[in-house]
């Protein structure tokens, strides 16, 4: 019987603690995404018992209610009608969810939002600086005296010399200000009329805007003619003030005068605040923070670094590790050497060692298929698959990884290892590191300790096998290989990846390696609440129709489609994990709801590079959303 969308929406609403407990609502391809005032007022158990609801979970301040493709949009429409809420964009829901977070967590999240987008510029400059410096040290080349050295040194140093400008632009985007006004504030803080911040010890002049009116030890209107090279915190605070001043003026100034008055008053007011108050206060505070971080790393024969190496993976789990970007950027801007990087690198490489040990020791084909690739990812500095997919689930490997990270970080501090960039750890860290041999030893200690502890002290639990079907471990499925001589992939290139009732086979919509749905790195998909199926790591960027059928749903952000076959199979093809947040960037959809398609027809094109640059997995999720209508649905 068809779901009563109105009744489903009413029953969901009844368990949410009343309208006053609702902040906003949106939906993606499969879920209602709600922000509530108080999660304790939500009756989660009763919510999961509502007909049509397949599960619930909380993520990043959002209450996500799993309903399913082709249905969620209809329930959402009824939900809006019942609650009186207006439709919200996913960005608005994300902002509302952030507003529900504790202040300290919002502040740390903001830091990450500012520094993550500028990571490519920092990495590029750091890699070039490391390369130029290495070539300059080779006496036989005499490279340091060449014009090429001077030119490349200038190119490599630019991002750090003008770091306040880059940070200001990114901060303005995060705070909702005009990014060009943000750039003006950043440039103002390193203006050529000011004494370069790195030359402060040589003295600088002072402006007295209001004469010599003294208030205690402070002279009113005193502005030190000193630039803020080497500082990032004052820039962020200044741009936050600028953005709020600008937004307030936009509301108050008549529209016909807004273009003239708002930018002028915004820049002038922010400049006064920056040079009279924000700059002096927060540059001093930042200096103390950096001194503390440097002391922490070196204190007690590396004991501080040992502690941070152990704690670092916990901050990754909590999503707080981007807060270190402030420290690393400050170190680079101040001294040109990031001595915090060895801590992150040791911690990440230790998780690699622990995950690799699990992959080698486990007798489970399914676990091995996840652990080995996840370990390799961690070796390259991307630890989330290893932490969330393997180590944290088993707990002991995660703890052993913390121990290995602590040991490696302690050695890194003692060996005085540093880097010329941030955001690059593990094996890629060789491109930015100052001492290659000690760095190699550090990675060997971190990874080796974690590997040994996991291999010898982690024991795999033997699962109880209930029947013959469960005795056989799910195998990784590899779809047909790509034929490089062909210009396009066709349906003949696609392998069968799912069977329904054994006789009905469903092809993969893309070419790549497939894993059982239980190993997909998303709680909703992995739970089976949306149906059984597979996740495919794609080698191509075209989603093809796996069978003849009708398009039953196309999400607004173009990253997911639902297709129904003549045999009654309802299939969700969802490109990427959390790619709903990309708002369609990198995706092109070729079909509309109600279209009839043939097997092999092009449904969606996606740009894998764009997805990865945005920080999301490009895994293609393929689920039979009406699995309950079949006796058996399984990965082949």
DSSP 433: B
Residue with tokens 């279209």: 595
Half-sphere exposure of 513 (CA within 13 A, CB side): 7
125, 163 contact by CB (below 8 A): no
Segment 46-51 long-range contacts (CB within 8 Å, at least 24 positions apart): 46/15, 47/12, 47/15, 47/16, 50/8, 50/11, 50/12, 50/15, 51/3, 51/4, 51/7, 51/8, 51/11
Rounded Cα distance between 261 and 255, Å, is 10
Q: What are phi and psi of 199, to 5 degrees?
A: -105, 20
298's tokens: 């070196």
CB 419 within 8 A of CB 430: no
Q: What is the CA radius of gyration of the chain?
A: 28
For residue 232, the 8-state DSSP code is: -
Residue with tokens 């860290």: 429
What angle in degrees, to the nearest 10, is found between the helix axes of 179-188 and 233-252?
140
Q: What are the backbone dihedrals phi and psi of residue 25, each rounded to the nearest 5 degrees, phi first?
A: -145, 140
Query: Which residues are tagged catalytic?
Result: 28, 574
Record the tokens describing residue 174, joined without a space: 């995060």
* Closest C-alpha to 245, from 222, 223, 221, 264: 264
| Exposure string for 66-83, b = 16+ CB within 10 A, e = fewer | bbbbbbbbbbbebbbeeb
Long-range contacts of 55-59 (CB under 8 A, 24+ apart): 55/524, 55/527, 55/529, 57/523, 57/524, 59/523
d(CA 271, CA 194): 14
Q: What are phi and psi of 533, to 5 degrees?
A: 165, -145
State residue 64 phi and psi, 5-degree precision: -105, 125
CB 548 within 8 A of CB 597: yes
Spatial separation of the C-alpha atoms in residues 70 and 552, rounded to whole Å: 6
Return all residues near 422 (Cβ < 8 A) that are at least 6 apart: 119, 122, 126, 324, 325, 328, 329, 332, 338, 340, 341
Backbone angles phi, psi at 530, to 5 degrees: -100, 5
Q: Is the C-alpha dihedral spanning 18, 21, 24, 26 positive or negative?
A: negative
What is the helix (H) or strand (E) element at residue 161, kind and residue range? helix 147-161
């Amino acid at each position: 019987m068809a779901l009563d969308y109105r009744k489903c929406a009413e029953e969901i609403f009844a368990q949410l603690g009343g309208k006053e407990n609702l902040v906003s609502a949106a939906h993606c391809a499969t879920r209602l995404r709600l922000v509530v005032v108080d999660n304790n007022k939500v009756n989660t158990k009763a919510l999961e018992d509502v007909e049509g609801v397949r599960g619930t979970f909380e993520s990043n301040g959002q209450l996500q209610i799993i309903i399913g493709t082709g249905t969620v949009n209809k329930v959402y429409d009824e939900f809006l009608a019942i609650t009186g809420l207006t439709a919200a964009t996913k960005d608005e829901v994300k902002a509302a969810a952030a507003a529900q977070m504790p202040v300290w967590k919002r502040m740390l999240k903001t830091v990450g939002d500012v520094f993550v987008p500028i990571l490519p510029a920092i990495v590029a400059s750091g890699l070039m600086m490391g390369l130029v410096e290495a070539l300059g040290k080779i006496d036989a080349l005499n490279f340091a005296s060449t014009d090429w050295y001077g030119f490349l040194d200038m190119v490599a140093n630019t991002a750090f010399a003008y770091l306040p400008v880059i940070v200001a632009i990114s901060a303005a985007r995060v705070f909702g200000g005009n990014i060009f006004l943000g750039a003006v504030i950043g440039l103002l803080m390193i203006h050529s009329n000011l004494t370069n911040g790195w030359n402060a010890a040589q003295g600088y002049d002072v402006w007295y805007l209001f004469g010599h009116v003294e208030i205690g030890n402070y002279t009113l209107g005193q502005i030190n003619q000193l630039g803020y090279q080497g500082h990032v915190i004052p820039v962020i605070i200044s741009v936050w003030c600028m953005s709020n001043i600008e937004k307030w003026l936009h509301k108050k100034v008549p529209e016909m005068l807004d273009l003239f008055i708002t930018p002028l008053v915004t820049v002038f007011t922010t400049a006064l605040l920056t040079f009279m108050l924000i700059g002096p206060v927060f540059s001093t505070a930042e200096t103390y923070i950096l001194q503390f971080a440097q002391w922490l790393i070196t204190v007690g024969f590396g004991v501080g670094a040992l502690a941070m190496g152990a704690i670092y993976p916990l901050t990754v789990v909590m999503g707080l590790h981007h807060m270190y970007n402030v420290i690393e950027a400050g170190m680079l801007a101040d001294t040109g050497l990031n001595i915090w990087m060895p801590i992150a690198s040791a911690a990440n490489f230790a998780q690699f060692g622990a995950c690799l040990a699990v992959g080698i020791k486990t007798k489970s084909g399914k676990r091995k298929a996840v652990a080995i690739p996840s370990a390799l990812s961690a070796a390259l500095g991307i630890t989330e698959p290893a932490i969330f997919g393997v180590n944290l689930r088993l707990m002991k490997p995660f703890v052993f990884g913390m121990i290995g990270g602590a040991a490696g970080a302690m050695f890194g501090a003692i060996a005085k290892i540093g880097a010329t960039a941030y955001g690059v750890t593990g094996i890629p860290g060789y491109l930015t590191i100052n001492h290659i041999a000690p760095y190699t030893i550090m990675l060997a200690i971190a990874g080796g300790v974690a590997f040994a502890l996991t291999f010898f002290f982690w024991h795999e639990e033997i699962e109880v096998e209930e029947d013959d079907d469960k005795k056989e471990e799910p195998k990784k499925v590899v779809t047909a290989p790509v034929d490089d001589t062909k210009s396009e992939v066709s349906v003949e290139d696609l392998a069968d990846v799912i069977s329904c009732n054994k006789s009905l086979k469903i092809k993969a919509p893309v070419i790549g390696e497939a894993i059982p749905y239980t190993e997909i790195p998303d709680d909703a998909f992995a739970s089976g609440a949306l149906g059984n199926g597979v996740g495919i790591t794609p080698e191509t960027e075209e989603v093809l129709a796996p069978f003849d059928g009708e398009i039953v749903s196309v999400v607004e952000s173009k990253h997911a489609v639902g297709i129904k076959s003549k045999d009654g199979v309802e299939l969700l093809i969802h490109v990427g994990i959390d790619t709903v947040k990309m708002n369609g960037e990198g995706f092109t959809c070729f079909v509309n709801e109600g279209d009839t398609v043939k097997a092999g027809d092009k449904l969606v094109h996606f740009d894998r590079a764009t997805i990865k640059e945005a920080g999301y997995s490009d895994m293609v999720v393929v689920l039979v959303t009406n699995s309950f209508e079949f006796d058996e649905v399984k990965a082949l």
